[in-house]
Amino acid sequence: MNRYPFDFFTVDYTIYAFTSPGNGSYGTPLPMTVISTGSIQGFKIDTTVTGQDPFDGSAVLVHVEIRRSPITQAFSLVVIVVMWCLSGAIFTAAMSVYFRERKAELPLIALSTALLFALPNVRNSQPGIPATAGTISDMVGFFWNLLLVATSAISLLANFIVQNGRGKEEAAKALEKTV
């Protein structure tokens, strides 16, 4: 499982430098300096050069740690909280309509259905999130949010259909009594 936005990568490598005596064997070790610069947007990169190889002094050992930047992690968490607030609000409204036997209005049905299609785009607005679902942020928010919104939309649609069917039956009975 991808740990986005808290994924962490490490790389250890060794750099060797020798003179070439020309006979296919290694020559004498060359002194070297390693400088690591640059950055990648959305990532925090820490490089540690630990010095020469303790065995023969011919190599430089480099350790690189790569993780998401704190601002990327914070933005991802804000997006997760926003998705929970939106899906929670729609779910609360749908359950209020259902349990209080209120009339399901078309704008609320449209809003829940639109949110069902908008949530994947909100998920994809997180910086650097993998295209395939299955990250920690998906497990914590996205899948549950889709479930809540889908349940809300289905509940509201069912409520609307039942209420409109009941209204027609009552109108037909009233018409029969007057005739």
Q: Which helix (H) or strand (E) holds 67?
A: strand 59-68
Cα dihedral 126, 129, 135, 138 sign = positive
pLDDT in tens, 130-159: 988 889 999 999 999 999 999 999 999 999
How many CB atoms within 10 Å of residue 118?
14
Mean pLDDT of 93-97: 95
Of 68, 91, 118, the domain-final residue: 68
The whole-number pLDDT of residue 53 equals: 62
Give the residue numbers spanning the domain of 57: 8-68
1 falls within a domain: no
If we measure between CA atoms, which residue out of 29, 32, 34 comes closest to residue 57? 29
Of 68, 101, 119, the domain-final residue: 68
pLDDT in tens, 107-120: 999 999 999 999 99
Residues 123 and 167 both lie in one domain: yes
pTM, to two decimals = 0.77
Residues 98 and 40 both lie in one domain: no
Give the tokens for residue 93.
Answer: 């409204």
Of 34, 52, 68, the domain-final residue: 68
